[in-house]
Structure 1
Amino acid sequence: MKQVNNEKSILEIKNLNKQIGGQTIINNINFSIQKGDIYGFLGPNGAGKTTTLRMITRLIFPNSGDIFINGHSIQTDSILALSEVGSIIENPTFYLHLSARQNLILSAKLAANKVTNARINEVLSIVDLKDVKDKKVKTFSLGMKQRLGIANALLCSPSLIILDEPTNGVDPLGLREMKTLIKHLAKKENITFLISSHMLREMQDLCDKAAFIQDGKIVEKGDVSTLLETYQVTNLEDLFFACIKERMTE
C-alpha cells in the first residue's frame, strides 16, 4: 500500500493535473494540509477550485498526480482514503419536501458506516438545527441549508471536511453562523477543514492557512498571517493580487 512520507499531513496533493477537452484545467498543483488546519483554497471563479475538490472526493479523476488522505492514495486505496472525509461539493442538495431529520436518515442509510439515530440527533444539535429538525427543508434559509449540509457531512464522524464555496449567497447572519460553526468544529471536534472560496475578504478571519489558485496553478501558499506580513498587505484580496503581480514579474 502506497503511503505518503509526511505522516502529519491529513491531506496531500502531489503533482496533480487535469485536462478536459484538450484544455489544462489543473496544472501540476501541490499543497498539503495538517491536522487541525482551517485551510482556504482561494481564487476567482473558474480558477480550478471545484475541479480540484471533485478530484479529491473522487467524483472525477486526474490525468496524472496523486492525492493522499491520512496517508492513503485516492488512486489505489480510495475506500480507506475517503472513509474519514465529509464534503459539500457545490450546493448541498436535499429533498425539500422532507424534514431536516428525514433527509439525514436517508443519508445515513447510504453511508458506508453505520449511523445511529443518536448520531443524527447529535449532528443536528451541533449545527444548531435541533429545534427545527422536523421542519421541511423548503422552509430553510440558505444559511440553514448550508448548516444542514455540514450536519450531513458530520454523520460518519470525519476527520476532514471539504466545503466548496460554503458562504456563497449566504446573508451576513448566516455567514457569521457558518464561521462560528466551522471554528467550533475545528477546535472542539478536532476536525480539519479545506474550504474553497472566491470571496477572499470573508475568509480572512476564518482560515489560518491558504493556497491561492489562478488559471489552474498555485500562485502562493502558506500561513495566512505570515503571507500578509511578507507581502505587506492587510487583507487576502490584496494578498492575492500581490501574488499574481509578483508571478508576472518573474
Structure 2
Amino acid sequence: MITLKNISFKVGKSNILAGIHMELKKGKVYGLLGPNGAGKTTLFKVLLNTIEYKGEVSKEDNHVPIGKLIEYPASYPNLTCAENLKLHASYADIAYSDSIVNHLLSVVGLPDAKHKKFRALSMGMKQRLGVAKALMGNPKLLLLDEPTNGLDPMGIKDMRNLIDQNLKSKQRTIVISSHNLNEVSLVTDTFLFMRDGKKILEMDNSEDIYLFGNVQQMPDNLNVKKDITLLKDNKKETYFILSESHFNKLKAMNDFVYRDVEKLTLENLYIKLMSSDLMEMKSYV
C-alpha cells in the first residue's frame, strides 16, 4: 500500500496540489480523472519523487520499483525496439538481458517488432513500446498518463486489452490518468476524481448508472451512512451518490428524505463534478 497524507505543491502563489489524502492498494487499478490543470501529472511526479512537495508519502516497501509512461513515449528513432529497451535499462540502472527484452516485447504484443526501428512503428506500437519500457524492472507501481492518447479505435482497444490481460497483477498497483472515461471504466477498480489540485471524490467502479440527489435528512444508522457516498458544496448543501439498488433500499426508510434525484452516466457525473464545487464528505457529523 502507498499512502499520501496532506500532499501540497505550489508554483509561486498557485496551488497545483492542495491537501491530497489517498491510499493506493496493492492489486488495484485506479482511474485518475480530471480536466487539464487538475493536478494529475503533478501527482504522478509526487509519486515519482521528482518534485519538492509538502506532505508525506509512505510505502510498505521504501524501495517500491515504479514504472511510468508519462506523456509521449519518447525513444531514439534510429534504434530498434530491442535497442531502445536495452538503452533505457542501462540509463535507469535496471538489469536486462535478451530474454527479458524478448519477454517484455511479447507481453506488450510486439514480438515481431524486435528489430524494427522506432521511427517505423505506428503510434499504437510506440505506445506499447513505452509500456514495455515502463515494465522494465517488474515495477510494483505503474503510472500510465494518457496511455490511449493519439490512438485510433483499434489501438485504444489493444491498449485496454493489454492493461486488463497483461498488466494487472495482485502484486502491482496501477494508476491510469485519462480523459477517455469509457475506456478507463472498463479496466478500473476505483475512480479518483480531481479538480483544482484537490481529490474531490473516490468511488468504486461498480455501476453503469449512478443516482445523484439532494439529501434533506439522513437515516440515523451509522452502518447505513457508511454505505452512502456524500458530497457537500460551498453552500453546505448535502448530496448523495448511490447505486440504483441501494437507493431503492434506502427509499423504504422513513428517515431518509431527499429531493431532485437524477440518473447519471459516468460521463454526466464527471461533468457535474467538474462544473461545480462539490467535494466528498469524510465525516457524517
TM-score (norm. length: structure 1): 0.84
- Greater CA radius of gyration, 1 or 2? 2
Which amino acid counterpart does residue 27 of structure 2 have in structure 1?
G
What does residue 69 of structure 1 align with?
59
Residue 185 of structure 1 deviates from its aligned partner by 2.5
Equivalent of 1:146, from 102, 117, 127? Answer: 127
Which amino acid counterpart does residue 65 of structure 1 have in structure 2?
G
Alignment partner of 1:43 is 2:74: no
Residue 112 of structure 1 deviates from its aligned partner by 3.0
Which amino acid counterpart does residue 86 of structure 2 have in structure 1?
I
Alignment partner of 1:127 is 2:108: yes
Alignment partner of 1:175 is 2:156: yes
* Of 27-36 and 186-195, the range deviating more from structure 2: 186-195
What does residue 51 of structure 2 align with?
60
Deviations 1:52-83 (A, max 9, x none): 11121122221x112233343xxxxxxx24xx
Deviations 1:127-173 (A, max 9, x none): 01110111111111211111101101111011221011111111111
Which amino acid counterpart does residue 57 of structure 2 have in structure 1?
I
Alignment partner of 1:247 is 2:278: yes
- SS of corresponding position for 1:131: helix
Partners in 1 of 2:51 and 2:17 — Cα distance? 12
- SS of corresponding position for 1:51: helix
Which amino acid counterpart does residue 237 of structure 1 have in structure 2?
E
Alignment partner of 1:237 is 2:267: yes
Residue 228 of structure 1 deviates from its aligned partner by 5.2
Deviations 1:91-147 (A, max 9, x none): 111001111111001012123342222111110011011101111111112111111
8 Å contact 1:13–1:30 — kept in the other structure? yes
**Aligned alpha-carbon RMSD (Å):** 2.3
* Of 112-121 and 163-172, the range deviating more from structure 2: 112-121
**Structure 1 residues 120, 186: closer, same or farther in 2, change over 3 A?**
closer
Q: How many residues are paired up?
A: 231
- SS of corresponding position for 2:206: helix
Partners in 2 of 1:45 and 1:24 — Cα distance? 14
Task: Give me the identity figure in percent.
Answer: 37
Alignment partner of 1:30 is 2:21: yes
- SS of corresponding position for 2:186: coil
* Of 199-208 and 44-53, the range deviating more from structure 2: 199-208
Which amino acid counterpart does residue 95 of structure 2 have in structure 1?
K
Residue 199 of structure 1 deviates from its aligned partner by 2.4
- Bigger fraction of residues in strand: 2
**Structure 1 residues 57, 97: closer, same or farther in 2, change over 3 A?**
same
Query: Larger relative CO (CA 8 A, sep 6+): 1 or 2?
Result: 1
What does residue 203 of structure 1 align with?
184
Residue 189 of structure 1 deviates from its aligned partner by 7.6
Partners in 2 of 1:25 and 1:97 — Cα distance? 37
Alignment partner of 1:19 is 2:10: yes
Partners in 1 of 2:16 and 2:28 — Cα distance? 26
Residue 46 of structure 1 deviates from its aligned partner by 1.1
The 5-angstrom pairing of residues 78-227 of structure 1 reads 80-81=63-64, 84-187=65-168, 190-225=171-206
- SS of corresponding position for 1:225: coil
Residue 219 of structure 1 deviates from its aligned partner by 1.1
